[in-house]
Structures are given as C-alpha cells and as structure tokens.
Amino acid sequence: MHAIDKKDSTYLYRQVFDLIGENIASGTLRPGDRLPSLRRMSLSAGVSIPTVRQAYIELERQRRIESRPQSGFYVRHVACNDIVHPAPSSSGEPVCLNCRPLMVRVYDGINQPDLVPLGIANPTLAKPAAKTLHRSMKRVMSRAEERSLGYASTIGEPALRRQIAYHYLDSIGVQVEPEQIAITNGGQEALLLALTAVASPGDVVAVETPTYHGLLELIDSLGMLAVEVETCPEEGVVLGELRRTLEQHPVKACIFSTTLSNPLGVTMPESDRRKLVQILEEFDTVLIEDDVYGDLRFDGVRPVPAQFLGSNARIITCGSFSKTAAPGYRIGWLVTDVFMDTVMRLKRAFSCSSGLLQQLTLADFLASGDFTRHLKMLRPVLKCNAERMSAMVADHFPAETRISKPVGGSVLWLELPANIEAEDLFDDAIEAGISITPGQIFSPSNRYSNFVRLSYGHPWSDKTEDAMRWLGRRVGELAT
Ligand SMILES: Cc1ncc(COP(=O)(O)O)c(C=O)c1O
C-alpha cells in the first residue's frame, strides 16, 4: 500500500511518481492504460496540479508512460530488451594485469575536458556539496587558520576520526574506536596501505570479477597476481566459487566490495557477508573491504561492512569521501586493529600524513550534520539518473543489450552484442565528445571485451540524452 504523506520528507512529486510506478509494477496499471488526468490525480492525491505534472513528466522521461496529444498520459509498452542481468562469468588462474596500454588510453581519454562524462565515476557531480563544504572550510579557516596549514599527524586528525566513528554508530549502529581509524589520501591509498601491510610481491590476491580497475593497477604495481572470483550481479561474490579458489590457490588476501560494488552496483546479502567472514577465517585469509560506495545505496539503508559482522580481526575496511563529498580533497580512511602499527609505518614512509585543511573541513562538515543532509539529497538524484539511463538503454540500444540493475552508486554495467569491441566503441565515443569506460579494464584477463561501464553520476541534461542516443545508434551500427 502506498499513500501520499505530506509529513514525509520525500518530495511530493516523487511520492506521486512512486505511487504510479508501484501501480504499474503491480499490474494495476497495464501497458496502454490511461493514467488519471492531472486534475483528477491532484484531487485524489491531495496535491497540486503542478506537482502531479512534475511526476508525470519524470515518468515520461523514464519511458514508463507517454503523453498522447489531446488525450492524456498512457502506460508505455515495455521494450523487449527490458532489464536483465549480464551472464555470470567464471573464476580462473592468477594473472598479471593484461591491459596496461588500454588503461593508459582510458585515463588519457576520459580526462579530456568538455566530454559528456559517462566514463567518470564521480557521483558528487550529480549533487555537488560545494557550498556547504565551502562554509565548513571558511569556519575552519577562521577558527584555526595557521594550524590548518600545517602537518596533520600520521594517523590523522582526531576530530575527523571521531566523526567517522560517529558516522558508523549513526548509520549502522556499531562502535568503532577512533584509534582504529587511520586517515589516508583517498580510498586508493587506504587500499595500498592495507594490501602492502598484508601481502608481498608474488602473492595472489582474489578480486571480484568484474572489479574496479584502479584496484587491478594497484595489485599489478605491487608485483602481485590477481585471481578473479565469480560474482553474481544480484548477490555479489559467489561463495562456492570463492571456496574453490581458496582451495586451489594460495590466496593471501581478498579485496571485495561487499556493501556496494563497482561496476555491478550489488550488495552481498548480510547472511553471505557473515559466511564470507567465516570462510576467510577458515582459510586464514585477510579480507580488505573496499567500502567507498557503502553510503550510496538508493534506499539509504547502509549495509554493514563485513568487519563488523563477526570477531575476525583479519579484516581491514577502506572508506573514502571521494564518492560522497569531494574527490579532490583526497581524503579516505581505513579501519583496522591488528594491522595498525604496520599501516602507520607504511603511511609515514609513503606520504607522512594527509591534508590537514581538508580533514578539518570534513570534520566540520560531518559535525554540522551537513554530510548526512547531503547524502539524503544525493541518493535520490542518483536513483533517478539510474532509472533514466536504464530506460534510455532499453529504448536506444540493440535488443540483445543486457544491463545491470544497481541498488546504489553511480554506474551501469552493460553487456553489448557479442561482436562489439568496447575498445573501438570507446575510441569512436571519445571522437564524438563522449567518455565511456570499456569493459576490459575491469578484469585482469581482459575478459569483458563487449562490456562497457556508463556513469550516471552527473547532472542529467539534454547532452546526456543525446550522448545515450548516439551510443545506442553506434552500438547498433557496429553490431551489424
Ligand atoms: C571501488 C573503488 N574503490 C576505490 C576507489 C578510489 O577512491 P579514491 O578516489 O578515494 O582514491 C574508487 C574510485 O573510483 C572506486 O571506484
């Protein structure tokens, strides 16, 4: 049951949108059915006509309804290439990174200015926190101008570590000691420190497949080998496959995103996260949990990182403010107890400490409540963009295209017709002023040659829609 609740903090238009959406999903409204007129809906839902219009426009934008001249709004017939999931892939042998030159081309390509940024996963663009962060920084500068320009301690600013601990308490109800939190230069340095603390050159590291390409470059740069573990688009790491991999290979550490992964946008069920902790304990294998997206589930329910689901001390959680506040600040963190001394030795040697002004600014941003308010606004924008982009893929890409159904984050993962080379599509798209990320770089063995990752983490615009139409057309041409 769903009714409009004026006391709810959700926008009224979004409530009308959800009301109609749920009626379509349940089959009460079928393809071809006429929706209540704007006036009627406004009277029955007790909201204004412009509010209903805004909801209908959004539903139309997402291709769920269509307007017919002089007649009203109707439920659309769903395209036959409706959302399905990419087929799961299987695990293999430990390998060195096999796509270094492509990785370089992708980074060069996507960082060109003025491209439609479908290749960059920067969700903060969708709803920038610039104004509130600026306010926080001004407050910090007026309070501690000289201090804020100095060195931070190696473990990081106590005020920020306290705020991160509070955020864990507030969002998932667990107690983390600020002494167990170390501030890093982004999530990437957290992963670097964690991996260097627990593994050495030549060691085997297990990763999800597909996985974040920056992780693969990291493993490769440390002279380690990556082994891919089959990952299901709905439930994450397949535990049976993980067990098989651990039995067959001397895996030193696993780096998984169990809370919200990139590029699949999947959360492992909590029961599986608990089993994962047990399996890794059994094999005495360290888990490094890449949790940089955990705060961005569309439903706002924050999954609990595996570290807090049992008593396994050999787990390190890596977080970051890059996906939720400001990637340019380069502030992340890691949570560990038993590895802290090693991590501190490495942090001193690699980068000494992280920017103090940014740490103090983020501490103020969290303490003021602005961070929580910002997340509340960011998540629905990302959800809406995900729906719009999925609808455009269904409408404009060839029928065989398969598409992930993320539960959060800022990217879609597409499986294109089998004969498409994503690398070629990448080159064509850059020339047309659009960045995308080709699938190969999400696997150390170049597995996903006909996959692409598209980011919806930016303000939706006509340019985005033009780019999606162009990509769909180009994929269609390359497929024939
Ligand atoms: C899954 C994942 N982990 C880690 C990182 C690195 O985060 P940061 O930008 O904070 O270094 C990224 C950035 O894209 C990512 O997508």
Which atom belonging to ligand 1 lies closest to the Cα atom of 262? 1
Cα Rg of the chain (Å, integer)? 23
Q: Distance between CA atoms of 53 and 37, rounded to whole angstroms?
A: 10
List CB contacts of 19: < 8 A, sequence separation 6 or more: 2, 3, 4, 45
Task: HSE, CB side, 13 Å, CA atoms: give it for residue 214.
Answer: 14
Q: Give the model's pLDDT for residue 80.
A: 44
β-pair partners for 414: 403, 452
Q: What is the distance in A from the centroid of ligand 1 to the CA of 189?
A: 9
Whole-number pLDDT of residue 92? 77
CA of 188 to the centre of ligand 1 (A): 6
Q: Which helix (H) or strand (E) holds 232?
A: strand 225-232
Cα 291 to ligand 1 centroid, rounded to whole Å: 9
pLDDT at 2: 67
pLDDT of residue 127: 95
Ligand 1 centroid to residue 186 C-alpha, Å = 7
Residue 125 C-alpha to ligand 1 middle, in angstroms? Answer: 15
Mutate to test the pocket of ligand 1, among 183, 292, 324, 354 (most ligand atoms within 8 A of CB): 292
Pick from 164, 188, 218, 350 the residue to mutate for probing ligand 1's pocket: most ligand atoms within 8 Å of its CB.
188
Atom of ligand 1 nearest to the CA of 257: 1
The three-class DSSP label of residue 75 is: strand
- Burial of residue 135, with CB atoms counted within 10 A of its CB: 0-12 exposed, 13-18 middle, 19 or more buried: middle
From 184, 262, 351, give the residue whose CB has the most ligand 1 atoms within 8 Å, as the site to mutate: 262
- The predicted pLDDT at position 434 comes to 97
Q: Which of 323, 437, 441 to mutate to test the pocket of ligand 1 (most atoms within 8 A of CB)?
A: 323
The pLDDT value recorded for residue 144 is: 87
Question: Minimal CA–CA distance to 209: which of 92, 288, 323, 290?
Answer: 92
- Around Cβ 332, how many Cβ atoms within 10 Å? 25
Q: Which atom of ligand 1 is nearest to the CA of 185?
A: 11
Tokens of 64: 């769920």
Distance 42 CA to ligand 1 centre (A): 44
Distance of alpha carbon 223 from alpha carbon 220, whole angstroms: 5
Residue 177's pLDDT is 97
For residue 231, report the distance from its CA to the centre of ligand 1, in Å: 19
CA–centroid distance, residue 418 to ligand 1 (Å):
29
Q: Which atom of ligand 1 is nearest to the CA of 330?
A: 10
Q: Which amino acid residue places its CA nearest to atom 15 of ligand 1?
A: 212
pTM: predicted TM-score of the whole model, two decimal places = 0.88
**Residues with Cβ < 8 Å from 358, sequence gap 6 or more?**
326, 329, 330, 331
Block means of pLDDT (10 residues each) for the chain, length 480 residues? 80 91 85 90 93 90 83 76 51 78 88 92 95 97 91 98 98 97 98 98 96 96 95 91 94 98 96 96 97 97 95 93 98 97 98 97 98 96 93 91 94 94 96 96 91 96 96 96
Q: List residues near ligand 1 (CB under 6 A).
A: 121, 186-188, 212, 214, 257, 262, 290, 292, 320, 322, 327, 332
Q: How far is the CA of 37 from the centre of ligand 1 (A)?
A: 46
CA distance 380 to 383: 5
Find, among 4, 70, 11, 2, the residue nearest to 42 by Cα.
Answer: 4
pLDDT of residue 361: 98
Residue whose Cα lies nearest atom 7 of ligand 1: it is 187
